[in-house]
Chain A
Amino acid sequence: MKNKKDTTNLNENLSVENNKAVVSKNSVEKTETKKLDGGTKVKERILSIDRFRGLCMFAMVCSFIFGALGAFSFLEPLIGHGAKGFQVLPGVSFADLFAPMFIFVIGLTMVRSFKSREAKYGTRMAYFQLATRFLALIGIGILFNGFENGWGDVFTGSKTFAELSIKIQIFAVMFWIAIALLLVYIVSLFFKNEKFKSVSLDLLKYFLAIAGIMAVYFILVSTGEKITAPVDGERFGGWEWDTLQNIGLAGLLALPFVKYDKWGKLTIVGITFVVLSVLMQNGLFPLANKILEGGIFGGFSWAGIMLLGAVFAEFKDDKFYWILSSILLLISVVLIISFNFTAAKRGCTPVYAMFCASISSLVWGGLNFLNNWKPKFDFFAIWGSNAILTYILTLVFVSVVMGGLLSEQLATLSVWASVGIWLLIMALFTVLNWLLNRKNIHIRM
């Protein structure tokens, strides 16, 4: 009887096209791999999550391009962070909303991802895999820093390799090792030797994870040194931190609670936010504000956003969804406006995290109403299908090439040429994502 009900529900909510199944109205618990009548296994996708992820990626790529092209300087209020941008709340700019939204989206799929791994490989392995994944993410981020802050300076002649800090030197060298391992893995794809493929992938993955561990170690040491400065003045920590490291750290901090039920997660987030708010309001904020996204301290708030994403995913079809969403919005707005609590992306204060999580839940809640609408060309869903690839390509081509190497030329470009470049890059990203999506290729960590 139950199977019959499941099948009926499935038939109502699935549209199978090119061996790809798309889900509309099922709860997250129901969205795991299911069997169709013919015994074919399909992995259902919640369109609103893809669309939301796509929306975040689209906004992020646009902000990178607008930032690199001087003709778009009039859009500074929209793309500027912190005090530079249009203030949605005191200390929170419009552009500050998108990074937390992306973390929120990761939270939406986190439990699902964990459960599917747990079903396949067992609980311990699921934890290990996800931890490796988040460490590798931190690794990618820090190796990019090694390239950008190390080789970037060496190539432009502003510093010699010897003048770089020892931490940057390490990551700069590791960058090329990672590239070599990536090439080996790409080569392995052309061979029919599964073991070669698997070993080269593992090598790359664990190498990135080791880089991630080193990055976390250096930032921890550095944070400690900021709190209690060494007497002899010698520093061992590293202060390199960026978006990918932040996402990875948030994932790592959220991971231990992934198996908790929604109320457990909510309690953990509540306690974390209360403790962190007390600390931030009493002297921690200036330290957290010194580093992008708050470093280790901010990581707890970002993890809170991720866990809230997981909580909202579990409340998706529950009436409590909107209650939680409205309460978070109300508490954060009242604390910021009425009680002057510090809200900032840089430092990621808990009230900022709460506000962004509530806005994210509103956007996702709205997108959920559109789950039954399935156009053939689903723009944002396409953009959201390969987020990590889009992000890395953006980092390489838009941020490093446009924002770094060609920055002087692009700063003086005319408006029409700038619009042309913007449209061209967006079109290229759209086509790339569309092609990969059509081939059902999803590049993940």
Chain B
Amino acid sequence: MQEEVVSVENKTLQNQKQTEGALKTTNRIKSIDRFRGFCVFAMLIFQFLKNFPSLGILSRLAEHSLEKGIVILPGMTLADIIAPAFIFAIGLTFALSFSKWQKLHGTKMAIIHYLERALSIIGLGTFLDLCNKVLDSFDGYVLNAFDWTVFAFSIVAIIGLVLRFLSLIPAWKNKLSMPAEQVFYVALSCLGIMNIIITTMDFINIQNNFNAFRYNYWVTLQGIGFAILVAFPFVKAKPWVKFLGASLIFIGFAVFHQIGNNREWLDVIVHGGVVGGFGWGAMLIFDMFVADIYFKNKAYAFATSAFFCAIGVFLVQWLGTINLGSCSPTFILVSVGLSGLIFFVFDLLDRFHKSKFDPLVWWGKNPIIMFLVEFFVIGVYTTVMPESALGGASLWLALIQGVLAVVVLTLIAWGLSKSKKSLSL
């Protein structure tokens, strides 16, 4: 009996050591944090600068349309690479992060946590979409039955969030922490599941009638969440299994994408909707494959990224342009490759970065909070401000607002990073 206890203690100690080791590994790679921070910064700040046409090229950074955006490859603008780059950042740490959870809480809990996390990301996106629809309702948009259902679940999620804040009070922590977390997660997960169903219905409706009514509940966060769901079964797989799995999903999706009018239909819903999500999923698995190579040999990972990018551009001849909207096969390959190449620029610069002043790391530590801050703070700001201060702003006024947004958001990121506060989904 005593031996058993010792053995269990040893195992726990071993697990702790392994976890510490994994944590150390994650902590050491600052370039991943910086890269993630860059993605979040680009997503939020570029989006804000889009409001000021007087800024010229800076206002076009977040443009996805080929007419207004900065075209870098056939069919692809500079803005199109930001979301895949964020997915790449997820792919870099997905397996490490899962292993950490697995060691701390066991496989079953880790699986539940990550499935909930993926669904919650979709749920959060759904909630943000609802907020927009509620705002639109003041301008005459009539909320439908699904909107009200989302509304109801959102209230439950907000209650869960409030309870989570209350659980920070030391006296309530033990009693409230777990149920608050579950209320929050389950409500958001339900939103996620409902969204997957409704967006699938949207796609079926489009196939039957191009101008049919759509619920329109799919944007970037939903795409990211669904990609995590698709990639999840491969999180612990060996690199060649990941590559094979991603290739199979990619080929299946590519065939579907190229048949009939599917490309146009996929283009209607943001990022291709649920069906396009399989393409994003394949992208994430390819990213995880590159990450596996990266942790073994950086040079080979760089070469693999460049090959992905080259093959993607090469296939433009036969598979069509690099189209974010429908998540075209060429977009998937180019995104994996280009994101990898951008990451390696950060990785190369890592050796020159000795200063503690590291704003991109602050940005990268709390992507979800930063996303919410941007949505509510910047969103409210742009709604409240008169048009003369935004679209009609002169260059100097636009520059002041742009710099202020960068400074304020960076200060928030720094504050969150310093106080070690984070919202983990």
B303 and A326 within 8 A (CB): yes
- B64-79: contact bitstring with A at CB < 8 Å (1 yes, 0 no)? 0000000001100000
Which A residues between 315 and 347 are near B, CB-CB below 8 angstroms?
Answer: 319-320, 322-323, 325-327, 329-330, 333-334, 337-338
User: Does B309 interact with chain A (Cβ within 8 Å)?
Assistant: yes
A338 and B317 within 8 A (CB): no
Given A319-B297, A320-B299, A337:B309 Cβ within 8 A: no
B303 and A337 within 8 A (CB): no
In the assembled complex, how far is the CB of residue B68 from the closest CB belonging to chain A, in whole angstroms?
19
Residues of chain B within 8 A of A326, CB atoms compared: 302-307, 310
Nearest B residue (CB) for A87? B317
Contact of B299 among A319, A333, A337, A338 (CB under 8 A): A319
Bound together, the chains give a CA A329 to CA B314 distance in angstroms of 9
Given A322-B300, A322-B303, A89:B310 Cβ within 8 A: no
Residues of chain B within 8 A of A319, CB atoms compared: 297, 299-300
Bound together, the chains give a CA A90 to CA B314 distance in angstroms of 10
A333 and B314 within 8 A (CB): yes
A337 and B313 within 8 A (CB): yes
Residues of chain B within 8 A of A89, CB atoms compared: 314, 317
B314 and A327 within 8 A (CB): no
In the assembled complex, how far is the CB of residue B75 from the closest CB belonging to chain A, in whole angstroms?
10
Bound together, the chains give a CA A337 to CA B307 distance in angstroms of 15
In the assembled complex, how far is the CB of residue A9 from the closest CB belonging to chain B, in whole angstroms?
23
Nearest A residue (CB) for B299? A319
Residues of chain A within 8 A of B314, CB atoms compared: 89, 333, 337
Bound together, the chains give a CA A330 to CA B299 distance in angstroms of 16
User: Does B104 interact with chain A (Cβ within 8 Å)?
Assistant: no
Which B residues between 297 and 344 are near A, CB-CB below 8 angstroms?
Answer: 297, 299-300, 302-307, 309-310, 313-314, 316-317, 337
In the assembled complex, how far is the CB of residue B335 from the closest CB belonging to chain A, in whole angstroms?
14
In the assembled complex, how far is the CB of residue B79 from the closest CB belonging to chain A, in whole angstroms?
17
Given A90-B317, A319-B297, A319-B300, A337:B306 Cβ within 8 A: no
Nearest A residue (CB) for B318? A87
B74 and A323 within 8 A (CB): no
A323 and B302 within 8 A (CB): yes
Bound together, the chains give a CA A70 to CA B337 distance in angstroms of 44
Bound together, the chains give a CA A166 to CA B300 distance in angstroms of 57
Nearest A residue (CB) for B338? A330
Bound together, the chains give a CA A322 to CA B305 distance in angstroms of 11
Nearest B residue (CB) for A327? B306
B306 and A333 within 8 A (CB): no
Query: What secondary structure prevails in chain A residues at the interface with B?
Result: helix
B310 and A329 within 8 A (CB): yes
Residues of chain A within 8 A of B304, CB atoms compared: 326
Nearest B residue (CB) for A326? B306
Bound together, the chains give a CA A382 to CA B401 distance in angstroms of 72
Residues of chain B within 8 A of A329, CB atoms compared: 306-307, 310
In the assembled complex, how far is the CB of residue A337 from the closest CB belonging to chain B, in whole angstroms?
5
In the assembled complex, how far is the CB of residue B310 from the closest CB belonging to chain A, in whole angstroms?
4
B310 and A330 within 8 A (CB): yes
In the assembled complex, how far is the CB of residue A339 from the closest CB belonging to chain B, in whole angstroms?
10
Residues of chain B within 8 A of A337, CB atoms compared: 74, 313-314, 316-317
Residues of chain A within 8 A of B74, CB atoms compared: 337-338
Which A residues between 323 and 380 are near B, CB-CB below 8 angstroms?
Answer: 323, 325-327, 329-330, 333-334, 337-338
Bound together, the chains give a CA A271 to CA B337 distance in angstroms of 26
A325 and B303 within 8 A (CB): yes
Contact of B309 among A87, A323, A330 (CB under 8 A): A330
Query: What total count of A-B pairs have CB within 8 Å?
Result: 47
Bound together, the chains give a CA A100 to CA B316 distance in angstroms of 24
Bound together, the chains give a CA A325 to CA B307 distance in angstroms of 9
B317 and A323 within 8 A (CB): no
Bound together, the chains give a CA A330 to CA B302 distance in angstroms of 12
A334 and B313 within 8 A (CB): yes
Residues of chain B within 8 A of A333, CB atoms compared: 310, 313-314
Residues of chain A within 8 A of B316, CB atoms compared: 337
Bound together, the chains give a CA A87 to CA B314 distance in angstroms of 12
- B51-88: contact bitstring with A at CB < 8 Å (1 yes, 0 no)? 00000000000000000000001100000000000000
Which A residues between 361 and 417 are near B, CB-CB below 8 angstroms?
Answer: none
B313 and A338 within 8 A (CB): yes
In the assembled complex, how far is the CB of residue B280 from the closest CB belonging to chain A, in whole angstroms?
23
Residues of chain A within 8 A of B302, CB atoms compared: 323, 326
B310 and A338 within 8 A (CB): no
Bound together, the chains give a CA A334 to CA B305 distance in angstroms of 14
Nearest B residue (CB) for A330? B310
Which B residues between 352 and 385 are near A, CB-CB below 8 angstroms?
Answer: none
Residues of chain B within 8 A of A334, CB atoms compared: 73, 310, 313
Residues of chain A within 8 A of B310, CB atoms compared: 326, 329-330, 333-334
In the assembled complex, how far is the CB of residue B182 from the closest CB belonging to chain A, in whole angstroms?
47
Nearest A residue (CB) for B304? A326
Bound together, the chains give a CA A90 to CA B307 distance in angstroms of 19
Bound together, the chains give a CA A327 to CA B309 distance in angstroms of 10
Nearest B residue (CB) for A322? B303
Bound together, the chains give a CA A334 to CA B302 distance in angstroms of 17
A338 and B306 within 8 A (CB): no
Nearest A residue (CB) for B75? A338
In the assembled complex, how far is the CB of residue B334 from the closest CB belonging to chain A, in whole angstroms?
10
Nearest B residue (CB) for A323? B303
Residues of chain A within 8 A of B337, CB atoms compared: 330
Which B residues between 266 and 320 are near A, CB-CB below 8 angstroms?
Answer: 297, 299-300, 302-307, 309-310, 313-314, 316-317
Bound together, the chains give a CA A429 to CA B309 distance in angstroms of 41
Bound together, the chains give a CA A320 to CA B300 distance in angstroms of 8
In the assembled complex, how far is the CB of residue A314 from the closest CB belonging to chain B, in whole angstroms?
16
Nearest A residue (CB) for B73? A338
Residues of chain A within 8 A of B309, CB atoms compared: 330
Nearest A residue (CB) for B74? A338
Bound together, the chains give a CA A330 to CA B344 distance in angstroms of 15
B299 and A322 within 8 A (CB): yes
Residues of chain B within 8 A of A327, CB atoms compared: 306
In the assembled complex, how far is the CB of residue B165 from the closest CB belonging to chain A, in whole angstroms?
48
Bound together, the chains give a CA A326 to CA B299 distance in angstroms of 11
Bound together, the chains give a CA A329 to CA B302 distance in angstroms of 13
Bound together, the chains give a CA A117 to CA B310 distance in angstroms of 39
In the assembled complex, how far is the CB of residue A352 from the closest CB belonging to chain B, in whole angstroms?
14
Residues of chain A within 8 A of B307, CB atoms compared: 326, 329-330
A323 and B299 within 8 A (CB): yes
Q: List 15 A-B contacts (CB under 8 A).
A: A87-B317, A319-B299, A322-B299, A323-B303, A323-B306, A326-B302, A326-B303, A326-B305, A326-B306, A329-B307, A330-B306, A330-B307, A330-B337, A333-B314, A337-B74
Seen from chain B, the residues whose Cβ lies within 8 Å of a Cβ on chain A are 73-74, 297, 299-300, 302-307, 309-310, 313-314, 316-317, 337
Using A320-B299, A330-B309 as known contacts, list a sample of 14 further A-B pairs with CB atoms less than 8 Å apart, ordered by residue number in A: A319-B299, A322-B299, A322-B300, A323-B303, A323-B306, A326-B304, A329-B306, A330-B306, A330-B310, A334-B313, A337-B74, A337-B317, A338-B73, A338-B313
